[in-house]
Chain A
Amino acid sequence: MNDEFKAIERRTVRSFYDDGLFEIALGAIFLLLGVYFFGEIALPETSSLPMFLSSAFFFVIVFAGLLINKILRFLKQRITYPRAGYVSFRKERSPKRRLTAGVIGAVTGASIPVLMQFIPSFRDMLPAFNGFLLGIVFLLLASKSGVARYFVLACISAFAGIALAAAGIGDIRGVSLHCALLGAAMVLSGLAALIVFLRRNKRAAEVPDEP
């Protein structure tokens, strides 16, 4: 019986990802990150723009996140809710989980510059590191939501990272390409999911809720 409860809970959570809009939005962020990292290495060193880009990284991420969130809400209201109905989810408020996630994030973030400093060859492995890290995030998303597409994206992330590192495209150039590849894969996967969602779910007739 416990499995049946869990199946209903999982199906409810999965309904958030059925329309593919989350992947499209996240994919757009990764494409933006790819362009951002590429800008850092492609711009001439004499220009002050690369330094400006480096220092503005945090703000770029926050701004992009807020913008994508707004767009996602707008699209959900226009596309998803009239077809599948509206649902909002309880926010995770477990302080222990938040603390664990924060500590893991901080340790991972701090370890990258340290590893780059002390292990020179680590720079060549950056895309593989990035690929594994994002692969783990997708695996967590997949196990939480039960969406099989995220398992595929986790594999794409890991394999793309390894392939780039093996091809000798390391450092920021490799990370930039990895982000762009993963972003493109996510947008394509999201668009495919959206097409299926639109075919399966016709817009509900606008009639009052109750008889």
Chain B
Amino acid sequence: MSPDLRGLADLDRVIHEPARLVIATILSVAESADFLFLQRETGLTKGNLSFHLTKLEEAGYAAIEKTYKGKIPLTLARLTPAGLKAYKDYRASVKTLFEK
């Protein structure tokens, strides 16, 4: 396999998925964001957003905190240090690949 193709194959697939990439980009700027904010910014359905957040959480890239606002459940998401590093690495890899 050529080094270029290896670089492509080595991309972090958890971050690489478009919906999760948008979520990770938002959370790389935001310290934390709630479900409503992420849903509005990504345009994902509740089910889809929940699925992708769970995937990020399972990979150790996102921390999901479930609290309450009055009696209404409130979900806050943030990138973990590992998630932020994975996102930065992904961006660096993509930049290198596209510059070649």
Q: How many residues of B contact A (CB 8 A)?
A: 29
Docked-complex contact B33 and A86, CB < 8 angstroms: yes
Docked-complex contact A210 and B50, CB < 8 angstroms: yes
What is the bound-complex CA distance between A85 and B34, given in angstroms?
Answer: 6
Name the distance in Å between A48's Cβ and chain B's nearest Cβ. Answer: 46
Docked-complex contact A8 and B22, CB < 8 angstroms: yes
Contact with A along B27-61 (1 / 0, CB 8 A): 01111111111111100001100100000000000
Q: Which residues of B contact A88 (CB under 8 A)?
A: 30-33
Name the distance in Å between B32's Cβ and chain A's nearest Cβ. Answer: 5
Interface residue? B3 (CB, 8 A): no
Q: Determine the main DSSP class of B at the interface with A.
A: helix
Of the residues B29, B38, B39, contact of A89 by C-beta under 8 Å: B29
Contact with B along A86-107 (1 / 0, CB 8 A): 1111110000000000000000
Q: Knowing A8-B25, A86-B37 are in contact, say whether A209-B32 is a contact too (CB < 8 A).
A: no
Instruction: Give residues of chain A (1-49) contacting chain B, Cβ–Cβ below 8 Å.
Output: 1-2, 5, 8-9, 11-13, 15
Q: Which residues of B contact A211 (CB under 8 A)?
A: 46-47, 50
Docked-complex contact B28 and A85, CB < 8 angstroms: no
Q: Knowing A12-B41, A85-B36 are in contact, say whether A209-B28 is a contact too (CB < 8 A).
A: no
Contact with B along A53-65 (1 / 0, CB 8 A): 0000000000000
How many chain A residues sit at the interface, stated as a range, is: 20 to 34
Q: Which residues of B contact A206 (CB under 8 A)?
A: 72
Name the distance in Å between A202's Cβ and chain B's nearest Cβ. Answer: 12
Docked-complex contact B75 and A210, CB < 8 angstroms: yes
What is the bound-complex CA distance between A7 and B26, given in angstroms?
Answer: 10
Name the distance in Å between A161's Cβ and chain B's nearest Cβ. Answer: 33
What is the bound-complex CA distance between A1 and B98, given in angstroms?
Answer: 9
Q: Which residues of A contact B28 (CB under 8 A)?
A: 9
Q: Knowing A87-B37, A208-B72 are in contact, say whether A12-B26 is a contact too (CB < 8 A).
A: yes
Q: Which residues of B contact A13 (CB under 8 A)?
A: 29
Name the distance in Å between B43's Cβ and chain A's nearest Cβ. Answer: 12
Q: Knowing A2-B95, A11-B41, A206-B72 are in contact, say whether A87-B32 is a contact too (CB < 8 A).
A: yes
What is the bound-complex CA distance between A85 and B35, given in angstroms?
Answer: 7
The contact sample of 18 A-B pairs, CB cut-off 8 A, is A1-B94, A1-B98, A2-B98, A15-B37, A81-B36, A84-B36, A85-B34, A87-B32, A90-B29, A90-B30, A204-B36, A206-B72, A207-B72, A209-B34, A209-B36, A209-B75, A210-B75, A211-B50
Chain B residues near A (Cβ < 8 Å): 22, 25-26, 28-41, 46-47, 50, 72-76, 91, 94-95, 98
